[in-house]
Structure 1
């Protein structure tokens, strides 16, 4: 993205192919320049009345939107499977997670409040959380309903109006989601626009936008942050990750390989917090690599791995793998583009990796498990920390001292010990460095969507 808006947002069509077989899902028109500006203007007109709506009524409306989403869950799951290749059952899980998130914010929004302050006993001092205004939400394709529900729900329930642009890789899902939710909300509170980069660029450049909330690539997130310098918009962004997994010498290598496979191959590696690079202690490296390769073979032979979102993504994943092999990585499993239709890519295990290889230095976003053998936990921890991203990391260790050191030394927003996808409900994290900034989910997202006003009230002096 660039910081300057184009003179006009070109009128184009988004044609989506099913990544499972290459068939056409459908075509969606990209919003024109006039339609984008009109959507923001509509949100601005509706902002004052929605901000003045009682929090309890906003929560009630969001609860109704959640119930409508639940009624259409199967429809959206099947559409998501066609657009992104994510299996219907997993897609349904994402939709229902979105339903749960909307219900959560419907409950939390009305009790989101300020604080009393201690001042003079003859005065009242307190803070008020006020909506920021118009929120532009730019959401991804890899879990399109769940992620969008979080940003839209938190924005709406705190009194903001929203213009939502879903990813151009799943415009049908995004448009239908917008229709379903908007029918439960007052006119103008939620507007959906579809389109590619030009539409996103225009939205981020408009001065009448108060919040830019983005989940997606680091390059796009950084462009959004630069655009906000000119407009003054508040930015919330969860961007790319290159999450490390450190395997200590005192853990069961077969169990550790199962954790690594889960982290690297779930959703074909297309998860923001996927395991992207692995550092395994030399003492357990051989059985770990054997077990990890077997985990990959099992997925490849069983046909359980979903395709990547499209052929463009597959080309990028294979480019990274091929480049790393050319620089000395050893293929233990996978690494070959399969014949036939669709955008499938095999679960791939690479050994002999080094920090300079592309698969270790950049987010791959595919089912690739690159492994570097290290001589100590200290070395693994040091290499895990030496990265420009800061989303999440995992350590597998039986030593509490090593776990505590990981907590202290890894510069990430989320650290998981002995479970690659562990975490309690209601958690929230602040990504760091190239991975973004601000709370992108959880109760703290309500704070991001509001701004604090400090109030001081006291009696005037009496006359005479």
Structure 2
């Protein structure tokens, strides 16, 4: 039971505003217990054969699949993500665990060609204790990526899920910990202050964070002071370029998918659009119709909705034209309509910062050079999309855009195993894919000569 003296997270269903429940925020002593337990377990876990670690993670994936329906219901009630999309994210998380269970035992070091009478090795070793700070927009899939990669490489984990989905985080922790060896995975609850306290601990070796740029920068500073490693996927402000000569109806469908999927609450959502003047008229008409046809799930909570709406209001006050949406609906919950703005300028917040909501702000440009320049003029560097029939423009775009991921003629998609490093304010390091296993390890060089005989 939560007493009046305990700090707690109070979660409301974003669909109707009803109370989901309250979860106590971890105390300093509880954080200490979690990290100390992870540290005490790390030596034995690091010495566990890689195949056994992979087998344990594979069992965790099976347990997650068995609990997927229950977890998807919790996810829906806390974040508003529809049941089918929630279930898809949870199954994706199980798939990620399974992939790392296979890949982990295959990652090895290498021998070096030195003196033939000596042995020279480069050996990857676990870093130790990994703190995983995960978001609410795809909470299980992201958490499983970081947890799975850390565990199969021999690290132990302290996981703090987002304060916006603590019930889901707690149940995910129980499902996984029940089948993993004792002590290798701890789950703690809390807000940003708890994440900051974990990041500042000198007995934590890696802090892996997926979330806002402001939080990521704070974590980077804290970890720099302890000598640990920060692995950061921060915010993004991903541009979409619509070149001349493309089908404007198809382009509007791509833009709508990128801007409005999951109510715009995706790390690589389309955040700003640059459309060539030659196709701007029919593109804007089609994009407005796409927005008006969509019935969206609610945003995660009213606090987040206030931020999204504030950016829209600021844009309109600064001269943007509102084509559709942009009004707070009556009734409970945190709903917000798909919104299209045009005549947007570079100084508007909706063009300069991550909105993370169902808003499509559009700037009309005169040529591809202008679109490319405006798309690149940004502090973030997560991803970008270019819709073009020109091979030359596509080549220029992927070579020149200063982002980790460039998508040509599709806002989502990509081959399995692809992993990118975000740039600038969007973070640093591989946060997914096989390369994440390398981020979770450190390399030791061994030079071994035979002892002289007497």
Q: TM-score, normalised by structure 1?
A: 0.96
Alignment counterpart, residue 371 of structure 2, candidates 358, 373, 380: 380
Matches for 1:408-427 after TM superposition, within 5 Å: 408-427=399-418
Question: 3-state SS of the aligned residue for 1:96?
Answer: helix
How far the C-alpha of 1:118 sits from its partner, in A, is 1.8
Indicate the residue corresponding to 1:18 in structure 2: 13
SS of match in other structure, 1:38: helix
Residue equivalent to 1:290: 285
Aligned equivalents of 1:117 and 1:318: distance in 2?
58
CA distance in 1, matches of 2:373, 2:243: 13
Equivalent residue in structure 1 for 2:146, among 147, 151, 159? 151
Does the CA contact (< 8 Å) of 1:122 and 1:458 recur in 2?
Answer: yes
Please list the CA deviations of residues 166-211 of structure 1 after superposition, one character each: whole Å capped at 9, or x if unmatched. 0000000000000000111111100000011221111111110000
Residue 96, structure 1, aligned to residue 91, structure 2 = yes
- Measured against aligned partners, the alpha-carbon deviations of 1:238-278 in whole angstroms (never above 9, x if no partner) come to 01000000010011000000000000000000000000000
Superposed CA offset, 1:83-109 (max 9, x none): 000000000000000000000000000
Deviations along 1:91-145, one digit per CA (max 9) or x if unpaired, are 0000000000000000000111112222222222221110000000000000000
| Residue number in structure 1 paired with 2:391 | 400
Query: What corresponds to 1:317 in structure 2?
Result: 308
Distance in 2 between the 1:184 and 1:253 partners? 51
How many Å separate the matches in 2 of 1:21 and 1:407?
43
**2-side partners of 1:280 and 1:387: how far apart?**
17
- Tell me what 1:238 maps to: 233
The equivalent residue for 2:424 is 433
**2:317 matched to which residue of 1?**
326
1:43 lines up with 2:38 in the alignment: yes
Q: Unaligned stretches of 5+ in structure 1?
A: 1-9
Aligned match of 2:362: 371
Please say if 1:442 is aligned against 2:427: no
**Is this contact kept in 2: 1:85–1:306, CA < 8 A?**
yes
Q: Does 1:128 align with 2:123?
A: yes
- Secondary structure of the 1:275 match is coil
Structure 2 residue aligned with 1:453: 444
1:5 alignment partner in structure 2: none
> Is structure 2 residue 277 aligned with structure 1 residue 272?
no
* Counterpart-to-counterpart distance in 2, 1:340 and 1:228: 43
8 Å Cα contact 1:338-1:345 kept in structure 2:
yes
Q: 1:357 aligns with which of 348, 364, 369?
A: 348
Q: Does 1:227 align with 2:222?
A: yes
Kindly state the Cα deviation for residue 462 of structure 1 after the two structures are TM-superposed: 4.0
| 1:176-255 equivalent positions in 2, closer than 5 A | 176-255=171-250
Aligned counterpart for 2:258 among listed residues 246, 260, 263 = 263
SS in 2 for 1:383: helix
Structure 2 SS opposite 1:120: coil
CA positional deviation for 1:63: 0.3
> Aligned partners of 1:452 and 1:214: how far apart in 2?
22
Provide the C-alpha distance between the structure 2 equivalents of 1:227 and 1:274, rounded to a whole number of angstroms. Answer: 29
In the alignment, what sits opposite 1:7?
none
| C-alpha separation in 1, matches of 2:357 and 2:181 | 40
Unaligned runs of 5+ in 2: none
Size of the aligned set, in residue pairs, is: 450
The TM-score with structure 2 as length reference comes to 0.98
Partner of 1:3: none
In structure 2, what is the Cα distance between the partners aligned to 1:112 and 1:26?
A: 42
Q: Distance in 1 between matches of 2:268 and 2:193?
A: 28
- Does the aligned pair in 2 maintain the 1:204–1:228 contact within 8 Å? yes
Q: Distance in 1 between matches of 2:262 and 2:207?
A: 27
CA distance, structure 1, for counterparts of residue 111 and residue 381 of structure 2: 35
CA distance in 2, matches of 1:452, 1:391: 28
C-alpha separation in 1, matches of 2:40 and 2:141: 28
Residues 345-390 of structure 1: CA deviation (Å, up to 9, x unaligned): 0000000001111100000000000000000011000000000000
1:164-183 paired onto structure 2 within 5 Å: 164-183=159-178
User: Residues 67-88 of structure 1: CA distance to partner in whole angstroms, max 9, x if unpaired?
Assistant: 0000000000010000000000
RMSD: 0.8
Describe the SS at the equivalent of 2:333: coil
Asked if 2 retains the 8 angstrom alpha-carbon contact of 1:79 and 1:172, the reply is yes
